[in-house]
Structure 1
Amino acid sequence: MLRIAVPNKGSLADTATEMLQEAGYVGRRDPKDLHTIDPYNEVEFFYLRPKDIATYVGSGALDVGITGRDLLLDARMPGAHEIEALGFGDSTFRFAGPPGRFTTVEDLQGLRVATAYPGLVDAFLDERGVAVDLVPLDGAVESAVQLGVADAVADVVSTGTTLKQAGLEIFGPVLLDSEAVLIAAPEEAEGTDTFLRRLRGVMVARRYVLIDYDLPASLLEQAVAIAPGIESPTISPLRDPEWVAVRVMSPRKGVNKVMDELYAIGARAILVTAIHAARL
């Protein structure tokens, strides 16, 4: 059986669980369960702290796992490697400090930097030859400067509002653009390809929809230019020989604009259908 690590809590847990369900897997029924088996799909799920997943997978104790790219890099487990970005859990890591005090990361030389990701920050600064005194914290990193335990912080940033409220401003380059990723052990286990294919199918289903519409056959080339599909639209004849029925996969984003343009050239009975699962 393929042994899979899944976040048991935190920002990645719910979406990862939903993704696995959409991929056809049966997960835990009780949120307190730490281990469950899906015999039909020949997989075992282990529900672990997100920060520990890279360690278990990198050591070979588990075959694959879902975690954050930030957590993977922070763990510094040579055996664990990213094999697919999963399209959720986006986050950005930046440095922040008192307004006007810092301009570049080189300004941090010899100072204290608080972070919940010491491995990630240390690797980033080491590449740039900047030596600092790292202050590892589990949370509330933005308070470290105000409370006097650090001169600057390195933390997750979305809008930057939380850092501003703590009297800090962002400086220097982006440390990392992170998201949820599928990671694998050094030796690829049997079943990994199937698991990855299913997750890719979920991502395709989330990004695309099916568009069906009727159209005068003489306008087909115009319609195909608006919505070309993945490879080519499916064209079916209607009872009226001057009309055809068209089915095409189209990106979910912007689909209403595509419908408007199809209608404008003469398409009618335009229907959009969600895709539950897909294989491309």
Structure 2
Amino acid sequence: MNADSLDGRLLFAIPKKGRLHEKCLELLAGADIQFRRHARLDVCLVKNHNIALVFLPASDIPSFVGKGNVDLGITGQDVILESEMQEHVTETLKLGFGKCALQVQVPEAGDIKTVEDLAGKRVVTSFEVLAGQYFKSLDDRLQLPEDKRTKIEYVGGSVEAACSLGLADGIVDLVESGDTMRAAGLHAIATVLQTEAVLIKSSTPKHPALEPLIQLVTSRIAGVVAAGRYVVCEYNIRRTKLHDAAAITPGRRAPTISPLEDEEWVAVSVMVEKSKIANAMDELAKIGAEDIMIFNLDNCRV
């Protein structure tokens, strides 16, 4: 592949490995973005759209997007903030995966119980910017003198081992389930931020002609995300109970109401979040709804 084959194509950056990579591939498949990536090649052409996928380290994607080297990208909100590119990229869509927390963790058996106890001591992290900002604010609030302020040290990996090795009094790291931290004898005393994967584009795009394709890709991905988050709930309900039913299942905008042959009854079709559907069905049954059915979505447009 040469540079000429990329001319005029939308460049879409995807994490090349790590916690977001496989989820991104599922997202692309759901959006019908077809490609074949040859071994060891980090750029490949999409077969059915004027797009080229660029596989990059997630930590590099905000800079590539923010500087206009690529047009779209998927990465974590924490990565954007750590790279200090939030002024240069626009978050167009939260993707609902890669959710985790950047937390302050300390040894469970130690004397440090709060972040105030940790202030002024040694903190090891691979998030120097975010940890530095957090503890600067804390040190300022506690009015610590310059020679007593929290010391932030960078470690690229295995941050959770820093305390047991005597390198730190506490760490700042991403936590998903918390199992790794508990195994290392650590527990959280504060959360710096909650983060998830997001779709981003440049705040100052260099290729305005690609905007319709950017909107198409965004719309398709939004449909895949919504299909994973929602189900369709259909049921019959007496007209006199319709107001109560709508309060239980308000839908994204409003329920679809259809008349039945029995004029006292109507059929309702509505999108409901998967996480809320079991309770919604229970509440609908309590007010007399009948024939309550749930349908999974393969895809949608929202």
Distance 1:59 1:220, change over 3 A: closer
* Equivalent-residue separation in structure 2 for 1:40 and 1:193 (angstroms): 16
Deviation at 1:33, TM superposition (A): 4.1
Equivalents in 1 of 2:136, 2:36: separation in Å?
41
- The CA distance in 1 between the partners of 2:286 and 2:119, in whole Å, is 58
Contact 2:119 2:139 in 1 (8 A): no
Identity %: 34
Aligned to 1:186: 203
* Aligned-residue offset at 1:45: 1.1
CA distance in 2, matches of 1:239, 1:31: 60
Shift of 1:206: 2.0
* Inter-partner Cα distance in structure 2 for 1:118 and 1:69: 15
Mapping of residues 87-106 of structure 1, within 5 Å:
87-98=96-107, 99-101=110-112, 103-105=114-116
- 1:175 and 2:192 matched: yes
Change (3 A) 1:9 1:267: same
Could you say which residue in structure 2 is the equivalent of 1:124?
134
Confirm whether residue 209 of structure 1 aligns to residue 231 of structure 2. Answer: yes
Matched, 1:155 2:155: no
1:60 is paired with a residue whose SS is coil
SS in 2 for 1:246: strand
* Post-superposition CA distance 1:21-52 (Å, at most 9, x none): 22232244557442222253322211111122
Give the direction of change, closer, same or farther, for the CA distance of 1:230–1:134 in structure 2 (3 Å limit). closer
Q: Cα offset for 1:215?
A: 4.2
Contact 1:17 1:27 in 2 (8 A): no
**One-letter amino acid matched to 1:147:** L
- Give, as a single letter, the amino acid of the residue that structure 1 aligns with 2:169: D
Tell me the distance in 2 between the aligned counterparts of 1:38 and 1:105: 51
Secondary structure (helix, strand or coil) at the match of 2:188 reads: strand
Structure 2: 5+ residue stretches without partners: 1-8, 141-148
Structure-2 change in CA distance of 1:134 and 1:211 (3 Å): same
User: SS at 1:254's partner residue?
Assistant: helix
Contact 1:237–1:245, Cα closer than 8 Å, also in 2: yes
Match for residue 71 of structure 1 among 79, 85, 90: 79
Q: After superposing the two structures, state which structure 1 stretch, 145-154 or 157-166, moved more.
A: 157-166
Gaps of 5+ in 1: none
Do 1:28 and 1:35's aligned partners in 2 also have CA atoms closer than 8 Å? no
1:230 aligns with 2:230: no
State the secondary structure of the residue aligned to 2:59: helix
Of 5, 10, 13, which aligns to 1:5?
13
TM-score (norm 1): 0.84
SS at match of 1:51: coil
**Residue aligning to 2:291:** 269
Residues in 1 aligned to 2:84 and 2:195: alpha-carbon distance in whole angstroms: 15
Deviations along 1:153-198, one digit per CA (max 9) or x if unpaired, are 1112345443343343433x32111111222223135233333222
Q: Hey, what's the Cα distance between the residues in 2 that align with 1:241 and 1:80? A: 54
Q: Which residue of 1 aligns with 2:163?
A: 145
* SS in structure 1 at match of 2:220: helix
Q: State the TM-score, normalized to the length of structure 2.
A: 0.79
Give the secondary-structure state (helix, strand or coil) at the position aligned to 1:277.
coil
The offset of 1:146, in angstroms, is 1.9
Q: Secondary structure at the match of 1:203?
A: helix
